[in-house]
Amino acid sequence: MKLGSVKELRLMANTIRQDIIRMLAAAQSGHTAGPLGLADIFAILFFHEMNYDAKNPRWEGRDRFVLSNGHVAPVLYAAMARAGYFPIEETLSLRKLGSRFQGHPSKHWMPEIENSSGPLGEGLGIASGIALAGKMDKKGWRVYCVTSDGEHQEGATWEAVMFAAKHRLDNLVAICDRNFIQIDGKTEDVMPLGDLAQKYRAFGWNAVTVNGHDYAALMRALEGAGKMKGKPTMIVAETTPGKGVSFAENDYRWHGKAPSKQEAEAALAELAEERKRIEAMP
Ligand SMILES: Cc1ncc(C[n+]2csc(CCOP(=O)(O)OP(=O)(O)O)c2C)c(N)n1
Ligand SMILES: [Mg+2]
């Protein structure tokens, strides 16, 4: 499903943020910061950029979406539910025994997704392999991979970076959630990552850094990736962890903590106010 305007995409991101809070509040466990920070990017990917058929998830012509940082599962589930893959009410079974909405995405329980994830650092390798297969088979579909800054402390990520450059995988675009936090602190304190775009360029990629909440910039970067020949693209998206819920913003302690019932009410009230502001936009 494609939305025609940035305003509609912003409203979708707001819906996704509310869905994330409801899911986490129902589960009373899970990750808050990453999913909220990625909502704008997921709205653009699922409602502007990617081709897929929610009613026929294995459609051969679909763009392949690979989530690498699996702990942000709630944003994936919300976006896919809103795109028509699942009933939104069912996402409230997040993290319950027997639910297909596991705390980390499982392809075993959810065949609609391309890969299971949770162990960090695997997604870019998976996405690169799929992209190489697409090239070998001369397919027109593209591969989108969402990864995180914390995952760039994993050696396997850099193996994939070399692999994708070697094979000139211009059908691959990766987006890094550059939110400067990880599980137990700031990335630059734990293991400094520095200028990721510069590192990617040194490895032979096309790479840009954008504000991960700037719709025009993200859409421009994705368009640029689509036109790039001979190189994979990395979009380093600088995001605010916890975006939209003021008490959770920019605080690594919200990496893996769910809001209490009371905090969830406050978060939903804040997001409802934000929705009014978006609705008032031209
Ligand atoms: C291989 C591996 N090591 C450790 C973990 C535990 N872990 C889960 S999330 C996380 C932090 C990763 O950083 P990032 O993805 O940037 O987190 P966020 O920005 O969402 O807070 C860690 C260490 C894991 N899932 N996999
Ligand atoms: Mg991070």
Q: Is the CB of 191 under 6 A from ligand 1?
A: no
271 within domain boundaries = yes
Ramachandran angles phi, psi of 16, nearest 5°: -60, -40
17 within domain boundaries = yes
103 within domain boundaries = yes
- Place 223 in a pLDDT band, splitting at 50, 70 and 90: very high
Q: Is the CB of 33 under 6 A from ligand 1?
A: yes
Atom of ligand 1 nearest to the CA of 187: 16
Query: Is the Cα dihedral 126, 214, 36, 63 positive or negative?
Result: negative
106 within domain boundaries = yes
Distance CA 178, CA 149 (A): 5
Q: Is the CB of 231 under 6 A from ligand 1?
A: no
Mean pLDDT (whole number) for 122-143:
98
Distance CA 232, CA 203 (A): 10
Give me 76's structure tokens.
């994936």
Structural domains counted in the chain: 1
Distance CA 113, CA 107 (A): 6
Q: Is the CB of 176 under 6 A from ligand 1?
A: no
Atom of ligand 1 nearest to the CA of 69: 15
79 within domain boundaries = yes
Atom of ligand 1 nearest to the CA of 154: 1
Residue 21 Cα to ligand 1 middle (Å): 20
Checking if the pLDDT of 1 tops 90, the result is: no
If one residue of 72, 120, 177 were mutated to test the ligand 1 pocket, choosing by the most ligand atoms within 8 A of its CB, it would be 120
Distance CA 60, CA 43 (A): 23
Mean pLDDT (whole number) for 117-136:
98
Mean pLDDT (whole number) for 163-191:
98
Task: Provide the 10 A C-beta neighbour count for residue 227.
Answer: 9
Q: 227: domain range?
A: 6-279
1 within domain boundaries = no
Checking if the pLDDT of 55 tops 90, the result is: yes
Q: What is the CATH number of the domain that holds 126?
A: 3.40.50.970
Residue 176 Cα to ligand 1 middle (Å): 13
Mean pLDDT (whole number) for 182-201:
98
What integer pLDDT is reported at residue 202 of this predicted model? Answer: 98
Looking at every residue in the chain, the average pLDDT score rounds to 98
